[in-house]
Amino acid sequence: MNILGIESSCDETAAAVYTPDGLQSNIIASQAIHEQYGGVVPELASRAHHKTIWHTVQQALNEGSITLSDIDAVAVTQGPGLMGSLLVGICFAKGLCLSRNIPLVGVNHMDAHIYANFIDDQPEYPLVSLTVSGGHTQLVHVTAPFEHELLGQTRDDAAGEAFDKIGKILGLPYPAGPVIDERSEHGDPSFHDFPQAMLDNDFEFSFSGLKTSVKYFLEDQDNREEFLKNHLDDICASVSHAITEVLVKKLRNAIEHTGVKTVALAGGVSANSMLRRKAEKLAENTGCNLHIPKLAYCTDNAAMIAITGSMMTQQKLYADMDMKPFANLKA
């Protein structure tokens, strides 16, 4: 089936086409407007989605050399995400499906991050995914397509959220994750020992204390500006070290607990260089095959929605026309 995928859960309006021959196009319109506010403003996000969605879908069809009349199903992010933003994508997708009398597929955004690993690759089941994004941090045991067992997740901030909030404290632009990543490459990860929380718990995470400890650490310096100027790279590297150590230690616990031989990283934070290196070493030490999506498929995109939609159509997992968005993950 030829699938049109649409993603609008947060601040990227994205569309992609996936056919039996693979991914044909992947278009992302990022919303620069949020930078000046240091985070995503939900009302502005939905307005921007509304403004760009038609053009983004047209671009995806053009680049995929396909017309709307050759699309067999529309897959759209159902949640989790910002309610207003999700509604724009869902209403648009429903309109397309109704006008062409083709099926609608409602995709879970977190599942899609995991299945982004299947765009260029064929990971074997069962696998454990460390899904790390701006809104979620989860360890998921995937025994077969859409057979997921949640092993654990964060109790407060997500890993990406920790990068972004700490970046704000350090005066870095939003989203700070990629900037901290880049600066970390030039800094000393052992410059300061920031806390690694909840190491006594196997699969759960907590990152809000780290943010507070960075704040107090800076307040303790006599000349904060001068200190930051001289040591920004070192602080970034130490923060990255603290976050990635916890992620990789818990990933090791999950591998040992489940006995899997396949490991996947997923979500925006899987673009992180230090995390990628540490995960590679872990895979080597545990004899696992490691899968990490291409950078373009780590952060939010519609290619992952389209491929997940394609896998769902194979199992006839279609949605009704009264499908509703969900802002939070279902229990």
The site for ligand KG4 (CB under 6 A) is made up of 10, 133-135, 160, 163-164, 175-178, 181, 267-269, 271-272, 299-300
State the residue for tokens 């999506």. Answer: 293
Q: Is 7 in the site for Zn ion (CB under 5 A)?
A: no
Q: Would you put residue 81 in left (φ > 0), alpha (ψ -120 to 50) or beta?
A: left
Q: Is 117 exposed, middle or buried (0-12, 13-18, 19+ CB in 10 A)?
A: buried
Element (H, E) at 46: helix 42-63
The reply to whether 11 sits near Zn ion by the rule CB under 5 A is no
181 carries a ligand binding annotation: yes
**Could you give the CA distance from residue 200 to residue 306 in angstroms, rounded to a whole number?**
39
* 300 is a site residue for Zn ion (CB under 5 A): yes
Q: How far is the CB of 16 from Zn ion (least distance, A)?
A: 14
Q: How far apart are CA 240 and CA 233, in angstroms?
A: 10
Tell me which residue has its CB nearest to ligand KG4.
268
| Interaction of residue 138 with Zn ion, rule CB under 5 A | no
**CB 258 to Zn ion: min, Å:** 24
Nearer to Zn ion, 78 or 133 (CB): 133
Residue 4: both structure tokens together: 């049109």
Annotation-wise, does 212 bind a ligand? no
Using the minimum distance from each CB to ligand KG4, give the nearer residue, 187 or 268.
268
| Least distance in angstroms from the C-beta of 182 to ligand KG4 | 8
Question: Judged by CB, which is closer to ligand KG4: 135, or 187?
Answer: 135
Q: How far apart are CA 285 and CA 30, in angstroms?
A: 38
Check whether 234 is labelled as a binding-site residue.
no
Q: How far is the CB of 81 from ligand KG4 (least distance, A)?
A: 8
289 burial level (CB within 10 Å; 0-12, 13-18, 19+): middle
Contact 172, 182 (CB under 8 A): no
Residue 132 annotated as binding site: yes
Q: Using CB under 5 A, which of the segments 205-213, 217-225, 300-308, 318-326 binds Zn ion?
A: 300-308
CA-to-CA dists, residue 62 to 55, 59, 124, 142, angstroms:
10, 5, 33, 35
Candidate residues 31, 46, 133, 272; the one interacting with Zn ion per rule CB under 5 A: 133
Binding residues for substrate: 131-135, 164, 177, 181, 272
Binding residues: 109, 113, 131-135, 164, 177, 181, 272, 300
